[in-house]
Amino acid sequence: MNLPNKLIMLKKYVLGCCLLFIIVIVSALCKFTKEEFAKKENNIEKGEGFVTLIFKKFPDQINQGKGLKSNVISFFDEENLQIRDVLVLNFVENDTIFFHVEKEKYFQYYLSNGNDIRINSLYNFQRGDTIIVDFLNGIPDINIRNRVKGNFESNYSINLNIDAPIEPIVFRNRFGRNRTKEESEVYLKERDEYYNKIYKQLDSLKRKNVLSDRSYQLLYYNIYYSQINVDRGGYQFKTIADSHLKQDELLILGSYRFFLENFVQYAYNVKVPEPKVPFVVDYKDAFDKVMNSNDFSTRIKDYLLIYYFKAIISEGSTKEDAIYYFKQLQESLFNKQVLLKLKEEYIILLDGNTYDEEGALLIDAYGNEIKLNDLLKLNNGKIILIDFWASWCGPCLEMMPYSKQLKSDLINYDIVFVYVSIDSNITLWKNVSKKIGLDEVEYNFLAKNYPESKFYRDINLKSIPRYIIYDRKGKIVTLNAPNPNSDSLRKILTKL
């Protein structure tokens, strides 16, 4: 996975095609193996104050994709005005996730196998719900165990039984080419017919009282803003009614949030660094223009400023940029409480201190610091494998079970496994580390001076996962070792 600009570009590309945000913030979660699943399924609920989601292991048809696999359940954090995306790690085994819910929460589930399966579904889950997520022909099949009614809404995308036209990116992945001009005209006609069928179906279900008023409203606007987003290049955003920019209650919808981004880009003529990649904008320019705008409601303006601030950091901004734009947030945000949470999450970038720019400086979950060179000296005489990863990196997380298995298999060898995350968000790193069990290993660190350190430039750390091996004298054996799911890495380590 290329970083950091490639990550932003990929995220926006997927958004443009699938109409869903992808940023990766993960809660501390619990996991169950396939063998344990049948035994614990009936006793796994955490309590009435939670929503429990039990994801069954991916079927083979989803895992066969050759591109990026995305498997995210997303919700809008209304208190902190941020999108919270939780990675579902059911690539090799079942995964169970708990969410604390006051009353109810709307979730969007985005699933892609990087090939021909792309799902973006909206769900309403309520306090005390236990949900079994299975997969039917590649589509999530939702069963709310504790509810007699409500499963129709939960499986809305299945129950509608309306075939959607093949999206351009899926068409390209499936057939290895873009549509011809004639095929594109047919696609546009089919897409309009598809949306019209959905609107009619929604109206019919509303009249029959199958859908609640709230679900009807959200599903309707989800489709409405999705249409605008699909046509964003030719849509006249400058003529849009002011009321569209003040619908605070729709911030829970990914399609509405993406619509707001598109409005900022096209109505304010935000700079685009690479014209060939129009979905990646200059986030600093977008931040500045939103800050000086009076078009939005107070809550939506706060949300957009926070979103662009986090996008600036995700681009790989310097500490100076992070501090500058955080000060702009302090002066501009109406909701000052959010600032405390942001400062806690990005404390490494915002503390104002400078660090050793020659070597790599690492920090553990308790705040203890150590230089990588000192760690090498501490383990002199042993082989060291460093695993560079990040909480938002799907391929990194997919490799973690194999890495842990390799570590277990080679326990009798003098091999030290060191895990180094390049996350900028310390809270996110801690939460994901706990989910995947890295909080229990001896050497699990956050890179405190990434990417400023000369060390990271010297090793050209521009993509992850990345594995580096040091020999028993602390000398680099390879800067780009094979993935832990390969026999090659095992052979290299056992022969040193």
Residues 272 and 223: beta-carbon distance below 8 Å: no
| pLDDT of 153 | 61
| pLDDT of 465 | 92
Task: Give pLDDT tens digits for 338-364.
Answer: 998 898 888 878 876 655 567 899 999
| pLDDT of 101 | 84
| pLDDT of 40 | 40
**CA distances (Å), 231 to each of 99, 217, 251, 306, in order?**
35, 22, 20, 26
| pLDDT of 422 | 92
Task: Give pLDDT tens digits for 174-220.
Answer: 888 989 999 999 998 998 898 899 899 889 888 988 888 888 888 89
| pLDDT of 155 | 59
Low-confidence ranges of the chain (pLDDT < 70): 1-48, 60-69, 113-118, 148-161, 352-357
pTM score of the predicted model: 0.74
List the end-to-end C-alpha distance of the chain, in Å, as a whole number: 28
| pLDDT of 88 | 85
- Rounded Cα–Cα distance for residues 271 and 255 (Å): 22
Residues 70 and 34: beta-carbon distance below 8 Å: no
- Rounded Cα–Cα distance for residues 388 and 386 (Å): 6
| pLDDT of 27 | 29
Cis peptide before 484 (omega within 30 of 0): no
| pLDDT of 279 | 76
